[in-house]
């Protein structure tokens, strides 16, 4: 996992969060997670494929997810119902889509899979490489950005 592949996800997460909610997040300390698992109650997962492949995950508490969904929807979210889960899924879609656009501007051909939302902690996710983790502190609570990407060896010779 190259750190240069992580930065587009952090940048995208901060700009999307600010655009959708008006909140200006702060960045926590970067860490490495050798076993990729969900450490929060709600995790958005989106796959990345092409010249760079792997997984992006955005984890948060249930309360944080409800508050972010409420800010996106424009009304209070008392529980994570279908509408709230759709909003949270779209948050992951927007962040990952923006991040892969930034990666593609560096000459990589990448695409994303539709996001899935996992509810539950300690769900192990198999990835080829360890995840780089950056906490994003928002007015709604912490959102943990986990990115586990590796260059596709059959495609890496195309990128200058």
What's the chain's average pLDDT?
89
Q: Does residue 57 belong to any structural domain of this protein? A: yes
Quick one: pLDDT band at residue 160, thresholds 50, 70, 90?
very low
Q: How many domains does the chain have?
A: 1
The answer on pLDDT for 69 being more than 90 is yes
Q: Does residue 17 belong to any structural domain of this protein? A: yes
pLDDT of residue 156: 47
Q: Does residue 159 belong to any structural domain of this protein? A: no
Q: Does residue 157 belong to any structural domain of this protein? A: no
* Residue 119 domain boundaries: 3-152
Q: Does residue 160 belong to any structural domain of this protein? A: no
Q: Does residue 127 belong to any structural domain of this protein? A: yes
Residue 16's CATH number: 3.40.1550.10
Q: Does residue 158 belong to any structural domain of this protein? A: no
CA triple 1-52-111, angle to 5 deg: 140
Q: Model pTM?
A: 0.89
Give the pair of three-digit tokens for residue 1: 């996992």
Quick one: pLDDT band at residue 30, thresholds 50, 70, 90?
confident
The average pLDDT across 71-82 equals: 94
CA distances from 94 to 18, 58, 128, 138 (A): 12, 12, 24, 17
pLDDT of residue 153: 78
pLDDT of residue 152: 86
pLDDT of residue 36: 62
Q: Does residue 66 belong to any structural domain of this protein? A: yes
The average pLDDT across 43-59 equals: 94
The 3-class secondary structure across 8-74, one letter per residue, is HHHHHHHHHHHHHHCCCCEECCCEEECCCECCCCEEEEEEEEECEEEEEEEEECHHHHHHHHHHHHC
pLDDT of residue 157: 46
């Amino acid at each position: 996992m190259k750190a240069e592949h992580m930065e587009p996800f952090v940048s995208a997460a901060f700009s999307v969060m600010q655009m959708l909610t008006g909140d200006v997040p702060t960045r926590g300390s970067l860490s490495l997670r050798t076993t990729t698992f969900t450490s929060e109650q709600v995790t958005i997962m989106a796959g990345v494929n092409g010249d760079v492949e792997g997984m992006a995950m955005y984890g948060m508490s249930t309360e944080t997810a409800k508050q972010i969904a409420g800010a996106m929807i424009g009304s209070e979210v008392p529980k994570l119902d279908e509408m709230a889960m759709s909003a949270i899924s779209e948050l992951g879609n927007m962040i990952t889509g923006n991040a892969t656009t930034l990666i593609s501007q560096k000459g990589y051909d990448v695409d994303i899979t539709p996001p899935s939302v996992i509810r539950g902690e300690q769900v192990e996710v198999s990835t080829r490489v360890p995840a780089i983790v950056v906490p994003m502190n928002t007015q709604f609570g912490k959102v943990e950005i986990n990115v586990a990407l590796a260059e596709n060896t059959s495609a890496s010779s195309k990128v200058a």
